[in-house]
Structures are given as structure tokens and as C-alpha cells.
């Protein structure tokens, strides 16, 4: 039995932030995860399917459990327009939600959107929340990568994104490329949550081994180990 019969309202004449806030509010009132999934299926029904000619490897969004295809176009009005499709109805719903918020927005507006802006939607059921959070992230990152490629091409630069790389030193973590930027986020955890973990480990007298493998140029890791021993004496760094 369907829980919703009313079609989601999408007003493309509203600005992006207004549409995004309405989407967040719409899902926030749905406390039951099953209701949120059903609402996602409602959005899925609104998404026009891509023609078979567009469902090609070049347009694939990598990293999603389901197959997802995404196209992006910069209109003559200087605004971004997207099309997407998937072999999963739930994933089509994700695509529809994002497109309903981002379609017709300026490139710089879409580039400013962060995955944290969508976290309160919290769509998922037991065992599936992580994969669906990844879907949000992969879709948004892919949209932004396509925008950067279009802007680079229009300005005469190479549309190919730099090879993802991470540079880790004792003082800082720097990243190049959107994939590396996503990885770097997990290497810089919330300090308050780390402190809570440290307190819990101290209270329960639990240690945690940490191993770093490096060659002659691994001074950054060595410094990090020394800092770690001083800060977290119950951890064992080798």
C-alpha cells in the first residue's frame, strides 16, 4: 500500500537554496525510514528517463551500488541543467531530488553545495543507510566534477581533472582531485568526537595499536607517531 498519493511539488522558478530547504523540510517530518523511502519513490516517478544512447559508460556515476547515469549541460542562460537515470528506483529518487534542487542553478551555486547540506534527509533502512549516504555523495560529486570540466573547457583549459593524490605531513593534509578531497575529509575527524573516543578508551582501559609503514622519507609519519604518543598515551604507535 502506498503511503503517499500527492505528487511532490517542484518549483523551478524558486532559487536553489529555497528548493533545497523545502526538500529538507519535506523529509524531516517523515520520522519512519519507510516513509522516507516511499517519498523517494514518489520522486523517482517524476524523473524523465534518459534515452538508451545516454546510458553509456562515459556518463556512469562510479561508486554507487546501482548503475547510475548522469549528464550535465550549461545552458545559454549560464545555468546548469542535469539529466539522470538508474536501474534502481530508489537511486532514481535520489537523482530526482538533487535535480529538483540544482537544475537551473548557476555553476558556482552548485559547486558550493556540500554533502552535509543533505545529511538531515537521512534516508535509509536497516543495513542500507551507508550505501545510500554514498549515493548522495557520489551523485553530488559527479555533478560538480562535470561542472568543473565544462567550465574548464569553456575557458580553454584541460577538462580532465587532476589525478587524485593525498600529501600527508606532520603539519597538514593536502588533497588534489575530488576523490582525494573526499578521502582527506575522513583523515581530519571531528576533534570533539576523537576526544570522546579517547575518554571512552581510558575509562574502559582499552588500547589501540597504530602501525605506520614508511621508507627513508617517512619523517612526517614519525612526527605524527610522536605526537600521537604524547596526546594518546593509551594508544600504541609502531
d(CA 47, CA 94): 10
Give residue for cell 553545495: 113
Size of the chain in residues: 238
d(CA 5, CA 42): 8
Give the pairing of strands 208-210 and 235-237: parallel
Dihedrals phi, psi of 179, to nearest 5 degrees: -65, -45
Residue 97 catalytic?
Answer: no
CA angle 172, 177, 130 (to 5 degrees): 90
CA distances from 45 to 36, 79, 81, 95 (A): 15, 25, 19, 11
**Given the residues 64, 95, 101, 225, the one annotated as active site:** 64
**CB-side exposure of 230: number of CA atoms within 13 Å?**
6
Instruction: Dump the DSSP string for 92-115.
Output: HHHHHHHHHHHTTB-HHHHHH--G
Which residues are known to be catalytic? 64
Amino acid at each position: 500500500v502506498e503511503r503517499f498519493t500527492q505528487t511532490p511539488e517542484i518549483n523551478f522558478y524558486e532559487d536553489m537554496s529555497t528548493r533545497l530547504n523545502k526538500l529538507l523540510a519535506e523529509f524531516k517530518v517523515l520520522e519512519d525510514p519507510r516513509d522516507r523511502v516511499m517519498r523517494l519513490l514518489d520522486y523517482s516517478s517524476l524523473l524523465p528517463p534518459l534515452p538508451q544512447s545516454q546510458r553509456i559508460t562515459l556518463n556512469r556515476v562510479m561508486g554507487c551500488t546501482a548503475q547510475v547515469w548522469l549528464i550535465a549541460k550549461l545552458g545559454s542562460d549560464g545555468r546548469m541543467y542535469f539529466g539522470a537515470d538508474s536501474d534502481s528506483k530508489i537511486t532514481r529518487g535520489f537523482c530526482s531530488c538533487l535535480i529538483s534542487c540544482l537544475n537551473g542553478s548557476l555553476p558556482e551555486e552548485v559547486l558550493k553545495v556540500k554533502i552535509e547540506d543533505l545529511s538531515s534527509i537521512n534516508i535509509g533502512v536497516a543495513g542500507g543507510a551507508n550505501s545510500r549516504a554514498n549515493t548522495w555523495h557520489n551523485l553530488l560529486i559527479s555533478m560538480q566534477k562535470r561542472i568543473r570540466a565544462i567550465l574548464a573547457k569553456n575557458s580553454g583549459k584541460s577538462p580532465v581533472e587532476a589525478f587524485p593524490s593525498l600529501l600527508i605531513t606532520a603539519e597538514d593534509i593536502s588533497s588534489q582531485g575530488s576523490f582525494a578531497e573526499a578521502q582527506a575529509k575522513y583523515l581530519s575527524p571531528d576533534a570533539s568526537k576523537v576526544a570522546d573516543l579517547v575518554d571512552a578508551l581510558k575509562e574502559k582501559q582499552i588500547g589501540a595499536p597504530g602501525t605506520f609503514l614508511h621508507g627513508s622519507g617517512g619523517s612526517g609519519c614519525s612526527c605524527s607517531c610522536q605526537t600521537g604518543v604524547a596526546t594518546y598515551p593509551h594508544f600504541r604507535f609502531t
